[in-house]
Structure 1
């Protein structure tokens, strides 16, 4: 079976196609972190349509402008167009729209934040072009960027000159878990879960893992080996996306080391509280860090009792296994490091598996339980891995998550204890169910027949 390089993205393509079918001027903003697959998505969408794809670079603004002019000239088949002297992007785009007249054309400007960085007036110039000419035609202009902070602040933000002009926006996120088997045909479900635990659903990372190699080989060759694409990727991303990357690095290192409370992070980093608060907010917006509160917490409790964790699997893995072992990895001892990390990796996968089944799409697909709230619950030393609440129907599903192979006796003990903890939550007059999700559960059918709800990896339906 040949390996696919473009997987899923059905909702994203439908969003773009809907804009294209509108047959009126569209200004769409598409953005998301590096390696998430934005360029591949846009090229896939535009491939059968009249289009111009332009990738901005770190060259000076006017060199970028000349490159864009050259591409537009080639699209028009008009060499004279390439010789006209345009001083700014507004003049260039308005002249282009005049020449295509009523033709439906897709124009993609990728890595748009680089243009802003090189020449801030580009935002006002685009606003002018849109207001005077582009909005009155049939062009579909797509501005794309990898710098999430720049796209949300400079392009989508209230103070942006383009504010109110966009006709739609889409933040690209990871490929859903149930599609990653298409990147690694033939991989067993347990290994697919472990791959997800290491690199998440980032297409560029998944493509580095080779189906002909087993999971352990792929981790050693593609993450832990000096020179590999993923060996320094975390540092590169922090430097590219953030100012003062050293401070963000210190915060992530603290969280990876088990400091989950705000005060603990402040003490571990030695940074001022206000700075830590600001940096944590940025990391949350980027999807790297998550702040979690007990699912039944009041608004007052939620403002004070949040726990922080690294929500991005690649960053979580990198800060746990690459950074602390850097000296050994630099010396070429990747296989040795991974061999002695196996026991700890099993512990690591316990948290990763909990994040996986706690994601809304996986939870619903697996359990069939529709909820209005989903998350962890904790109170006075007691904890439930997942609590799903259907507030409309007054139904609750309590779930324990274990990255283990469980005997029927072990599973029964976990479920009975879960039933006890469920009573501590309260929820009088609610219909309550107790469930267990594990790597493998012996006697699963008997437990289900007794009224428990039990799932294991055999219940995960992953296309390959």
Structure 2
């Protein structure tokens, strides 16, 4: 699909603009998983500024160096600069810095890890160029990369030659939920939440959904159909980012099938405990997996009571509906698989909806409750979907999130049960409130008059129309 959109990224743009206006040498590191929109962000930022954009590729280092030199010569409008022989990137960049003098120029090196992969001395050479020349100019150097592990270990880590040189860094994450309606303007709030449950806030994935097609059509054609962009994207990303993808696959399959405790994951995969611990740490750093502890847990309790889940919606959906059905999907039975999966998908959306409400920005915008801690609570067989704590004012809000349309009687039952479960949490001298978020709540106003806090998708509509602003 060729649609192009630049949506949101207000905070990221402010960060870049602030650095640009500093009038000093800037060395920024921008990174984030593939498809998150890094290149679009940087090109959008640089579009009205003197800039050079260079994309490193899989070709040999010397070929990349010559391409960078060509682009720099083109920017300088100097054919002779393009014909000079430079032995390495430090010489090239220092010569370029000499030519631009005190002009403000943005130099973007995209997919920087590829340069490092083909020529490890690049790190030390870039350090040399920065220390000797670039740091004394007004250049704005931006290193960008999609390999999160490589950017963190090779560029940002203490042992990196570039450590201490950067003047700022930003890890790009998904766009906020409130903005995904701009990709699919005719979708209902119900369909937007379901879409978010499948692709999250990844711009490139949202662009795969055709706004002229129904939600079901998009799922079948753009996720479940062999050959579609999102059909094998999970496998591609894991193989690109990780050295032992088979072991990571096993761990993600275990979590997707309901094994949430560390011991359960070890038993399911058959891998050594130390390896599982290492792999889970990597998946957490990549924001594919998260470890959650009860919101009221002490540090000691947190070590023992953590539960793992797939936090990335695309991976969660893929491991639940694509991978287990690969045989049928390969045979072209995408529609049949989706029809058969709809009942379970509604169950899946229950956890998705809870996750959406548990997003700190969404929770704050929806409820208006100022919290210092927000998360789930559980103990033995008892669980509360969300507990928001304001530790300074000793206030607590207990919220249940239900992907259903309860009657007034059912809603009241849920809220009364929240009162009971809140007593198990403790917090005896705290002021407590109780809330419910559902698709549609019958008798919502009456429940509110009784002192309960109730929200449904109509309230989400209001937030969507204002992009979450209050």
TM-score of the superposed pair, with normalisation by structure 2: 0.98
Residues 335-414 of structure 1 aligned to structure 2 (within 5 Å): 335-414=335-414
Residue in structure 2 matched with residue 134 of structure 1 by the alignment = 134
The superposition leaves residues 189-248 of structure 1 with CA deviations (integer Å, 9 ceiling, x where unpaired) of: 000000000000000000000110010000000000000000000000000000000000
What secondary structure does 1:338 align onto?
Answer: helix
Residue in structure 2 matched with residue 330 of structure 1 by the alignment = 330
Residue in structure 2 matched with residue 173 of structure 1 by the alignment = 173
Q: Does 1:262 align with 2:258?
A: no
Rounded Cα–Cα distance in structure 1 between residues aligned with 2:379 and 2:205? 38
Deviation at 1:3, TM superposition (A): 6.9
Q: Is the 8 A contact 1:3 1:182 kept in 2?
A: no
Residue in structure 2 matched with residue 97 of structure 1 by the alignment = 97
Deviation at 1:256, TM superposition (A): 0.3
Residues 139-288 of structure 1 aligned to structure 2 (within 5 Å): 139-288=139-288
Rounded Cα–Cα distance in structure 1 between residues aligned with 2:150 and 2:380? 41
Deviation at 1:23, TM superposition (A): 0.6
Residues 18-29 of structure 1 aligned to structure 2 (within 5 Å): 18-29=18-29
Q: Does 1:304 align with 2:265?
A: no
Q: Is the 8 A contact 2:3 2:207 kept in 1?
A: no
Rounded Cα–Cα distance in structure 2 between residues aligned with 1:174 and 1:222? 20
Deviation at 1:380, TM superposition (A): 2.2
Rounded Cα–Cα distance in structure 2 between residues aligned with 1:202 and 1:69? 33
Residue in structure 1 matched with residue 117 of structure 2 by the alignment = 117
Residue in structure 2 matched with residue 447 of structure 1 by the alignment = 447
Residue in structure 1 matched with residue 71 of structure 2 by the alignment = 71
Q: Is the 8 A contact 1:408 1:441 kept in 2?
A: yes
What secondary structure does 2:12 align onto?
Answer: helix
Rounded Cα–Cα distance in structure 2 between residues aligned with 1:432 and 1:419? 9
What secondary structure does 2:464 align onto?
Answer: coil
Q: Is the 8 A contact 1:4 1:183 kept in 2?
A: no
Deviation at 1:428, TM superposition (A): 1.6
Rounded Cα–Cα distance in structure 2 between residues aligned with 1:142 and 1:4? 23
Rounded Cα–Cα distance in structure 2 between residues aligned with 1:284 and 1:92? 38
With over 3 angstroms needed to count, the CA separation of the structure-2 counterparts of 1:47 and 1:440, relative to structure 1, is: same
Residue in structure 1 matched with residue 10 of structure 2 by the alignment = 10
What secondary structure does 1:30 align onto?
Answer: strand
Rounded Cα–Cα distance in structure 2 between residues aligned with 1:231 and 1:380? 38
Residue in structure 1 matched with residue 435 of structure 2 by the alignment = 435
Deviation at 1:305, TM superposition (A): 1.2
What secondary structure does 1:406 align onto?
Answer: coil
The superposition leaves residues 119-141 of structure 1 with CA deviations (integer Å, 9 ceiling, x where unpaired) of: 01000000000000000000000
Q: Is the 8 A contact 2:110 2:145 kept in 1?
A: yes
Residue in structure 2 matched with residue 106 of structure 1 by the alignment = 106
Q: Output the aligned Cα RMSD.
A: 0.9
Task: Report the number of matched residues.
Answer: 463
Q: Does 1:415 align with 2:415?
A: yes
Rounded Cα–Cα distance in structure 1 between residues aligned with 2:107 and 2:259? 46
Q: Does 1:45 align with 2:42?
A: no
TM-score of the superposed pair, with normalisation by structure 1: 0.99
Q: Is the 8 A contact 2:377 2:386 kept in 1?
A: yes
